[in-house]
Amino acid sequence: MKHWNVGILLFNQVEVLDFAGPFEVFSLASYPDCNQKPFTVNTVAQTTDLIISRNGLKVQPDYDFHNNPHFDILIVPGGYGAEEIEIHNETLIKWIKDSTRKCEIVASVCTGAFLLAETGLLDGKQATTHWMDLNKLESEYSKIIVKRGIKFVDENDIITSGGISAGINMSFYLLKKLVGEEIALATARRMEYDIDIHNL
């Protein structure tokens, strides 16, 4: 049974559900009839100093940019901290770019798409973000093909999702893609989250 290491990027003023939603989905998923889990999920930030997320929730990152393990899947959340602060953080942008070269999948939630856009990873690809920021993404990054009215866009090794709760839908899509419908449905039932598995 395959196993993936999932890294979730954190930074000050990150949107809570952008990272907590995917964290919950990947952490709860398990192979049926055994104690093994498909995913190990950890958080990573520029330093291991306490992160103050949007609206004041405090979170302690597991790793920093110097001691983090290899991640097979990297989740880049959004929020005010992404589009207004970290977009100007050259260290963070470089770390994302360097890390994604080693990842199987990189996925953004909400305005985390702007951080991926800043690296150039979305150039020539279809992408989406929070509905309030679609025009901004399109005007500031003209090489991106911006998609509207959808929860997420899969460009194989790069996936972008819409705002906040759309990151949960994207996470269930990844469960279906990587470990199958049975595990995706079982995880959704456990979370009491309604998904249409055939339309993911």
Domains along the chain?
A: 4-199 (3.40.50.880)
* Model pTM score: 0.95
The per-residue pLDDT for 196 is 84
- Per DSSP, helices labelled H in 85-125 are 90-100, 112-119
The count of residues in the chain is: 200
Q: What is the pLDDT of residue 62?
A: 98
Give the DSSP H or E segment for 105. Answer: strand 105-108
Average pLDDT over residues 3-19: 98
Residues annotated as part of the active site: 110
Percent over 70 (pLDDT), the chain: 100
Residue 12 has what pLDDT? 98
Mean pLDDT of 58-65: 98
Dmax of the chain from CA atoms?
A: 49
CA distance 9 to 167: 14
Instruction: Indicate whether 79 pLDDT > 90.
Output: yes
138 versus 32: the higher-pLDDT residue is 138
pLDDT surpassing 90 at residue 161: yes
Determine phi and psi for 6, rounding to 5 degrees: -105, 130
Q: Identify the pLDDT of residue 103.
A: 96
Distance CA 67, CA 140 (A): 33
| pLDDT value of residue 127 | 98
**pLDDT in the model for residue 198:** 79
Check whether 199 has a pLDDT greater than 90.
Answer: no
pLDDT at 144 over 90: yes
Distance CA 157, CA 72 (A): 11
- What number is the average pLDDT over the span 81-110? 96
Place of tokens 């990152």: 61
How confident is the model at residue 24, as a pLDDT? Answer: 98
Q: Can you read off the two tokens belonging to residue 138? A: 């399109």
What CA–CA distance (Å, rounded) separates 48 from 85? Answer: 18
